[in-house]
A and B are shown apart, each in its own frame.
Chain A
Amino acid sequence: MADLAKKEKPARSKAEAQGNYIFNRKWEPVLYMLPFALGLLVFTIYPIVRVVIMAFQEKYRLSGRYDGFGLYNFQYVLGNDDFRNAISNTFIYVFTVVPIATILAILIANLLNQKIRGMAIFQTAYFLPMVTSSIAVGLSWRYIFNSQIGVMNWLLSLFGIEAVDWLGASGGVAPWNIVAVIIFGVWNMLPFTIILLLSGLQNIDPMYYTAAKVDGAGSRKIFFRITVPLLAPTIFLTMIINMISAFKVYNEIIPFWSGRPGAINNLYTMVYFIKEQFYSKDRLGFASAAAIILFLIIFTFTMLQRYVQRKFRY
Chain B
Amino acid sequence: MDFDDGKLTALLGPSGCGKSTMLNMLSGILPVTEGHIWFDEDDVTNMPPQDRGVGLVFQNYALYPHMTVLENIAFPLEIKKVPKAERIEKAKEMARLVHVDQLLDRKPGALSGGQQQRVAIARALIKEPRLLLLDEPLSNLDARLRLEMREEIRRIQLRTGVTTIFVTHDQEEAMSICDKIVLMKDGVLQQEDGPQELYDDPANLFVANFLGNPPINNVEGFIRDGAFVTKDEAVTIRYRNFPKELPEGREVILGIRAEAAIISRDETHDFTSVIKTRSTIGKEELAQLNLGEQEIRVYLSNEYEDEPGQAANFHLRRKGVFLFDKETGERL
Contact = CB atoms under 8 A, between A and B. Distances in A.
Given A216-B80, A217-B79, A211 B56 contact: yes
Interface in B54-74: 54, 56, 58, 60, 62, 64-67
A277 B122 CA distance: 66
A212 B58 contact: no
A221 B27 contact: no
A226 interface: yes
A215 B128 CA distance: 11
Contacts of A210: 29, 58, 62
Contacts of A230: 64-66
A232 B28 CA distance: 30
Interface string A264-308: 000000000000000000000000000000000000000000000
A213 interface: yes
Nearest to B56: A214
B49 interface: yes
A232 to B, nearest CB: 7
Nearest to A222: B79
Given A208-B62, A212-B79, A216-B80, A314 B107 contact: yes
A229 interface: yes
A263 to B, nearest CB: 47
B309 interface: no
Nearest to B58: A207
Nearest to A217: B79
B114 to A, nearest CB: 19
Given A207-B58, A207-B60, A211-B56, A216 B66 contact: no
B257 interface: no
A170 to B, nearest CB: 51
B127 A215 contact: yes
A205 interface: yes
B75 interface: yes
A221 B75 CA distance: 11
B58 A221 contact: no
B64 A216 contact: no
B62 A211 contact: yes
A229 B66 contact: yes
A213 B29 contact: yes
Interface string B103-122: 00001110000000000000
A214 B129 CA distance: 11
A214 B65 contact: no
B221 interface: no
B69 to A, nearest CB: 13
Of the four ranges (under 10, 10 to 19, 20 to 34, 35 or more), the interface on chain A belongs to 10 to 19
Contacts of B176: none
Interface residues of B, number: 24
B28 A214 contact: yes
Given A229-B66, A314-B65, A314-B109, A216 B79 contact: yes
A64 to B, nearest CB: 57
A312 B109 CA distance: 13
B160 interface: no
Interface in A227-251: 229-230, 232
B76 interface: yes
Contacts of A226: 64
A225 B81 CA distance: 14
A215 B75 contact: yes
Contacts of A213: 29, 49-50
The winner among A212, A214, A232, A314 for most chain B CB atoms within 10 A is A214
Contacts of A212: 75, 79
Contacts of B64: 208, 211, 225-226, 229-230
A215 B50 contact: yes
A232 B66 contact: yes
A130 B77 CA distance: 44
Interface string B41-54: 00000000111001
Contacts of B27: 214
B76 A215 contact: yes
Given A215-B76, A215-B127, A216-B49, 19 more contacts: A205-B60, A207-B62, A208-B62, A208-B64, A210-B29, A213-B29, A214-B49, A214-B50, A215-B50, A216-B50, A216-B79, A216-B80, A217-B79, A225-B75, A229-B66, A230-B65, A232-B66, A314-B65, A314-B108
Per CB-CB distance, the 6 closest pairs between chain A and chain B, nearest first, are: A216-B50, A314-B65, A229-B66, A215-B76, A211-B62, A207-B62
11 contacts: A205-B60, A205-B62, A211-B58, A214-B56, A217-B79, A225-B64, A226-B64, A230-B66, A314-B65, A314-B107, A314-B108
Interface of B: 27-29, 49-51, 54, 56, 58, 60, 62, 64-67, 75-76, 78-80, 107-109, 127
